[in-house]
Amino acid sequence: MNLFLAMRTFVEVVQSGSMSAAARRLNVTSALVGQRISALEDHLQSRLLNRTTRQHTLTEFGAAYLDQCRDILELVARSEGAASDQKLRPQGLLRIAAPVSFGAEALMPALRSFSELAPEVEIDLVLSDANEDLIAGGIDLAFRIGRLEDSTLLQTRLAPYRMALCAAPDYLAAVSPPRDPADLKRFRAILFSRTGRRPWRFARGDQRREWQPEATITVNSGHAVRRAAEAGMGIAMLPEVLVQESLRSGALERLLPDWDLPDQPMSLLYHRDRYMPLRLSHFISFAKSTFGSAPPAASKDTASAS
């Protein structure tokens, strides 16, 4: 058995999500991929993957061994680059997870610029409003919005995720626009189910206001919330990246523009690898330059994350 080739195949299976997808990327048959994984498990005398007819998941040992394989493969790549006296370029598969609205409206357009900077890096983007498990999902890096719980993952803070309060002109024609948060008691709201029915908070100088929205409808999609607001079903508090085109076109109008809305913290999460792959370190630098960093007091990388 070629141990190095078997390790590379194992990493590819995890990153691509299936043996058939790994076979296509490696330009070999699915049967050969399966043989390499079985031979590697026999060599290690431990199972790496729990297999079913439809999917596979990492065992506890497999998850730990995956990190070791990534370290070894990266070291080999660096050594080969030094031996050939060539400057290493980022390459390989980078699997990224992001919330749906941010991923579709902000991250996806930015990826063109990253592809121009690192043309040999292949991006596999997973959009989900659920917090994807990085190890189980074979994910290298995740964008997270909101406060994070403790874990062993590394965290890099980005600039806060800004929100906007808005409504359709037709709706405001029937219910005159609010001049103060206290006026919102006349309005119904379209709520994003993930944030639930938490109070909406406003600030202006030393003034603080809070309003408990009364929902017209609650939905689990930010895009659906925007469409409902454009249809005149109520007011909505949404990420600016999701409504900026609607505000420019006049489909929505910004409400209470002289009041500040609470920002959502935004972070990058990634594995604690001793030897970070070039494709990952390049993307982290790109994300910080594209989406901004947190203020200095909060920008230090830390292991406090989810």
pLDDT of res. 86: 42
pLDDT of res. 306: 30
pLDDT of res. 78: 63
**Contact (Cβ atoms closer than 8 angstroms) between residue 259 and residue 204:** yes
In this chain, the answer to whether the domains covering 92-161+265-298 and 163-254 adopt an identical fold is: yes
Domain boundaries, the chain: 3-83, 92-161+265-298, 163-254
List of the chain residues with pLDDT < 50? 82-86, 297-306
Please give the angle made by the CA atoms of 92, 97 and 98, to the nearest 5 degrees.
Answer: 135
Options 1.20.1260.10, 3.20.20.70, 3.40.47.10, 3.40.190.10; CATH for 92-161+265-298 is: 3.40.190.10
pLDDT of res. 222: 87
Cα(295)–Cα(47) distance, integer angstroms: 45
What length is written for the chain?
Answer: 306
180 Cβ contact partners less than 8 Å away, ≥ 6 residues apart:
209, 256
pLDDT in tens, 6-32: 998 998 888 777 888 888 888 889 899
**Contact (Cβ atoms closer than 8 angstroms) between residue 151 and residue 277:** no
Phi, psi of 235 (to 5 degrees): -95, 160
pLDDT of res. 297: 47
129 Cβ contact partners less than 8 Å away, ≥ 6 residues apart:
99, 100, 194, 220, 222
Which CA distances in Å does 242 have to 116, 170, 192, 225? 25, 20, 13, 10
pLDDT of res. 216: 83
271 Cβ contact partners less than 8 Å away, ≥ 6 residues apart:
67, 134, 135, 140, 153, 154
Q: DSSP string of 238-270?
A: EEHHHHHHHHHHTSSEE--TTSBPPPEEEEEEE
Cα(179)–Cα(175) distance, integer angstroms: 12
The CATH number assigned to the domain with range 3-83 reads 1.10.10.10
- Helical ranges in the chain per DSSP H: 3-16, 19-26, 30-44, 60-83, 100-102, 108-117, 169-174, 222-230, 240-249, 278-291
**Contact (Cβ atoms closer than 8 angstroms) between residue 232 and residue 190:** no
Token reading at 147? 């406060």
Q: DSSP string of 150-200?
A: --SSEEEEEEEE-EEEEE-HHHHHHSPPPSSGGGGGG--EEEETTTTTPPE
Class (C level, CATH) for 163-254: alpha beta
Q: Which is nearest to 208 in space by CA: 177, 180, 185? A: 180
